[in-house]
Copies of this chain bind each other. A is one copy, B any other.
Amino acid sequence: MSQRIGNALIGQSGGPTAVINQSLVGVIESCMAAPEIGSVFGALRGVQGILDENLINLGLENPADLDRVARTPCAALRSVRKKPTEEECERMLDVMEAHDVRFFFYIGGNDSAETAFLLNRAAVARKYELKLFHVPKTIDNDLMDTDHCPGYPSAAKFVAQAFMGDNEDNRSLGGVKINVVMGRHAGWLTAASALAREGNGAAPHLIYLPERDFCIDAFQDQVADAMDQHGRCVIAVSEGIHDSEGHFIQKSRSVDAHGNVQLSGTGALGDLLADRVRACVGINTRIRADTFGYLQRSFFGVYSRQDALEAREVGRHAVRVALEDKVPHGSLIIRRAGTLAKYAVAYGVTVLENVAQKTKVMPEQYLSGDHDVSPAFLDYLRPLVGDLPKIGRLSDLPVPRLLS
């Protein structure tokens, strides 16, 4: 039968998601079930934990605890944003060799795929036998070769439900409401705001994505037009909007003492746009800006069931592929199978080079004009997010006036 090959090591990297621990637990439970794999280790804070030889034993966790971990948002192994140097790759291989690690699974986005690529190159050069797989996660949905990324559907659901409620809030009190959504280079998450309309809403009335250049004068005109048409206006804006020269809109205002252009974790873009709207619709109009911030990736209790299921399965499939021994390394992908009426997925693997540091922006057929998405995008997104709550509205049957 199967022979023991060596131990497995798992790390998590980059910004967390609501379901990144589903993938972690998927990898752990499949490793534990595999006779080819001995111990299952975790690296605390991704590559930093490997460099520091800061490893924990995951094989001693019991299944009930693991299941609770899987349902908890954010990186249970803790995370890191770090690109290793060549020397660091050598050090990591030293640590792996010392612990007889022959399987390495790195859960993260395109930066993490690059780390995996660099480490794999070093392993090949050294002729160190290592099955190395990148397990995708990102709320940005911007990884190449995959239909979509685990983590994105849950964040998209949060954004959709946020816009559904916010549309009712705006309908209650009127005025202009600007909501800034995460997504530095690609508009996938901001675009998910359009799903709020499915629940019988009109909002968002305007959607601005980094796939288009942002012109603040045109923006002012479009808001004024929407106010004329609807008497109110809800706007979705990606944090990554930029002018025609590629400069972030935020940058033009940025007064950060240290010269950093920071997009998330600040209300600067929303406040800037609110000031510009004030200039065009007048000071008597109620104008508010919210920046959804880290709630989009970390809020506890809102997630897509399909996303949770796929994130778990993509972790399991990574181990399956590693054991099959057809390819020694790669990045896991999700392919859409089934039909428009009946959603289904298949799991596969692509080469690390295709994913490392690359960004998949929204294709032209998912956009509509310069401030909306297309019906084709909603067809793409709907089965990932699943059911949304339904808005209830009064019939507004007028009572005849009796006074002048």
A71-B392, A94-B403, A391-B72 known; A265 vs B289 contact (CB < 8 Å): yes
Question: Across the interface, which residues of B come within 8 angstroms of A278, CB to CB?
Answer: 257-258
Question: Across the interface, which residues of B come within 8 angstroms of A291, CB to CB?
Answer: 267, 290-291, 293
Residue A165, interface by CB 8 Å: yes
Contact between A283 and B301 (Cβ–Cβ < 8 Å)?
no
Residue A47, interface by CB 8 Å: no
Residue A125, interface by CB 8 Å: no
Question: Across the interface, which residues of B come within 8 angstroms of A57, CB to CB?
Answer: 397-399
Contact between A265 and B274 (Cβ–Cβ < 8 Å)?
yes
Q: 0/1 per residue, A239-252, Cβ < 8 Å to B?
A: 00000000000000
Q: How far in angstroms is the closest Cβ of chain B from A56?
A: 5
Contact between B257 and A299 (Cβ–Cβ < 8 Å)?
no
**Measured between alpha carbons, how far is A44 from B288 in the docked complex, in Å?**
22
A58-B394, A165-B299, A392-B72 known; A266 vs B265 contact (CB < 8 Å): no
Contact between A300 and B164 (Cβ–Cβ < 8 Å)?
yes
Contact pick for A171, options B18, B74, B95, CB 8 Å:
B74
Contact between A165 and B395 (Cβ–Cβ < 8 Å)?
no
Residue of B with least CB distance to A175 = B265
Contact between A56 and B397 (Cβ–Cβ < 8 Å)?
yes
Residue of B with least CB distance to A78 = B172
Contact pick for A275, options B257, B283, B393, CB 8 Å:
B257
Contact between B166 and A295 (Cβ–Cβ < 8 Å)?
yes
Residue A162, interface by CB 8 Å: yes
Q: Name the segment of A59-67, A217-225, A352-360 touching the other chain.
A: A59-67
A177-204 contacts to B (CB < 8 Å) = 177, 199
From A56, A75, A95, A293, residue with most partner B Cβ within 10 Å = A293
**Measured between alpha carbons, how far is A268 from B255 in the docked complex, in Å?**
13
Question: Across the interface, which residues of B come within 8 angstroms of A258, CB to CB?
Answer: 278, 283
**Measured between alpha carbons, how far is A301 from B196 in the docked complex, in Å?**
13
A169-B16, A172-B78 known; A95 vs B65 contact (CB < 8 Å): no
